[in-house]
Amino acid sequence: MSRSEPIDVEPGISRHAPAVPAASGTRAQTRFTNWSQIERLTRFGNATDGSPLRSFFQGVGVHTRMSLIRKAITQIRHEWSEGYPGFMEELQASFFMNAPHFQDLAFSLDVRKEWADRKRQGEEGEEEEYTFLRLYTDKDGYSQIFSVLNGAFRTDDLAKTEEQLRAAVFLVELLTIELFNYTLSTRSIEAAPAYEGFTGTVYRGMAVSPSHLQNFFDLMSKPVKERYWAIPLAFMSCSASRSLALEFASPVSPHSPDAEDKEEETQVLLRIHVSSLPPAFLAEYRAKFPASVVTTICAVDISRLSAFPDEQEVVLRGPFFQLVHMSREAVEGTGREVEVFDAVVFNTNRDHPSTMEMDDEQGEAARVFFATLIEVART
């Protein structure tokens, strides 16, 4: 399917949608505007530059990756009490030893992370500082550490280095704990109910090559129930601001050394609609599996923790997308158009130590039932 052919998910929806507001002003280069580290990760299937990295994994590849990752998660959670020091040593060796300002970070690594709802009653602990979430939003922290982490989860050969995979999973576990604790701690803040788990629309802008763009069109040509892609356990940063995302998707400057390579790239805006599991579905799941904790950590507004709060960041954890619509929209004041792809993702999941406490039969039944509820909710 070529980009010139109109595609409508629903009858009567025009490919030419109303104009979106133009981006304005000049922003400093941050991890959002510097795409050089993640450009090669944003491809369907095998990367064309010889890299074994994949950004959007589809089909059976998702299940293969998740089985390897789930094995590491199981080991880490089962051995959390006794194995924590060893896991932290692997993490330091794999990711942090060459990180900037490592000495400033080292003291934080000695503080054991625990799920807030799993602490013993009356137990006092260190005040949560969200060290790893703050590091994730820091320009140097993301560039030198989390770009490696995201790459580790997007490479084809996940089992190549078991220790590095375990270190990557451990780092995600630390981030997951902080996301959970953050959403739990803000539930009493009436002025900011979204911190319980974000719902709404977020955006991510990018410039893509013709072949990469064609992958989106090819996915769009499939039946809607087959338009899925996933990035198991990795993190994708988005903005709640459409205008900021459009800035991130702005054409490269003609004075840039990369301008020649990017002449043919198309500006793309991912418009991601974040939903939560309907209350009735959640109640049904909890009635069947009362010990299983359901979280909303798959989409969290972390702008208050960010080194760049003006970016209005919402982080998507292990996103599982469904592409539902596409359009070409004019960008006001620029004389250009941007390809807009609409996708749906849920903020709800079962990633919590309680899942490890079920026996195999019950755990599988809970997983299948929850997946069915999500599938029904998507329709």
What is the per-residue pLDDT across 175-194, written as a single tens digit (0 to 9) for each? 999 999 998 876 644 433 33
Number of residues assigned to the chain = 379
pLDDT tier for residue 107 given thresholds of 50, 70 and 90: low
**Cα–Cα nearest to 315, from 335, 299, 339:** 299
> Burial letters for 95-125: b for 16+ Cβ neighbours within 10 Å, e otherwise?
bbeebeeeeebeeebeeebbbeeeeeeeeee
Q: Please give the average per-residue pLDDT across 114-133, as a whole number.
A: 73
Q: Please state, in angstroms and as integers, the Cα–Cα distance from residue 322 to each residue in 181, 214, 319, 343, following that order.
A: 28, 17, 10, 5
Inter-residue contact 7 to 1 (CB < 8 Å) = yes
Q: How far apart are CA 342 and CA 379, in angstroms?
A: 15
Structural domains for the chain: 38-378 (3.90.176.10)
pLDDT over 90 for what percent of the chain?
Answer: 30
The pLDDT, as a whole number, for residue 281 is 95
> Does residue 60 register a pLDDT over 80?
no
> Does residue 109 register a pLDDT over 60?
yes
Q: Look up the pTM and report it.
A: 0.79
Question: Which has more confidence, 60 or 241?
Answer: 241
The region of weakest confidence among 9-23, 263-277, 304-318 is 9-23
The region of weakest confidence among 9-13, 127-131, 310-314 is 9-13
The pLDDT, as a whole number, for residue 335 is 82
Roughly how many angstroms between the first and final C-alpha of the chain, as a whole number? Answer: 25
> Does residue 274 register a pLDDT over 50?
yes
> Does residue 4 register a pLDDT over 50?
no
**Cα–Cα nearest to 160, from 39, 79, 52, 38:** 52
Cα angle for residues 185, 187, 189 (degrees, 5° grid): 95
How confident is the prediction for the chain on average, in pLDDT? 75
pLDDT tier for residue 253 given thresholds of 50, 70 and 90: very low
CB-facing half-sphere around the CA of 137: CA atoms within 13 A: 23
pLDDT tier for residue 25 given thresholds of 50, 70 and 90: very low
Q: How far apart are CA 285 and CA 366, in angstroms?
A: 8
- What contacts 24+ positions apart, CB below 8 Å, involve 143-151? 143/31, 143/34, 143/37, 144/98, 144/99, 144/100, 145/95, 145/96, 145/99, 146/235, 147/37, 147/38, 148/95, 149/95, 149/234, 149/235, 150/38, 150/41, 150/234, 150/235, 151/41, 151/53
> Burial letters for 20-32: b for 16+ Cβ neighbours within 10 Å, e otherwise?
beebeeebeebbb
> Does residue 42 register a pLDDT over 70?
no
Cα angle for residues 318, 321, 327 (degrees, 5° grid): 140
Residue type, 360: D
Inter-residue contact 128 to 177 (CB < 8 Å) = no
**Cα–Cα nearest to 299, from 183, 151, 145:** 183
Q: Please state, in angstroms and as integers, the Cα–Cα distance from residue 174 to each residue in 18, 88, 133, following that order.
A: 42, 10, 9
> Does residue 7 register a pLDDT over 70?
no
**Cα–Cα nearest to 36, from 298, 257, 350:** 257
The pLDDT, as a whole number, for residue 8 is 36
Q: Please give the average per-residue pLDDT across 204-226, as a whole number.
A: 86
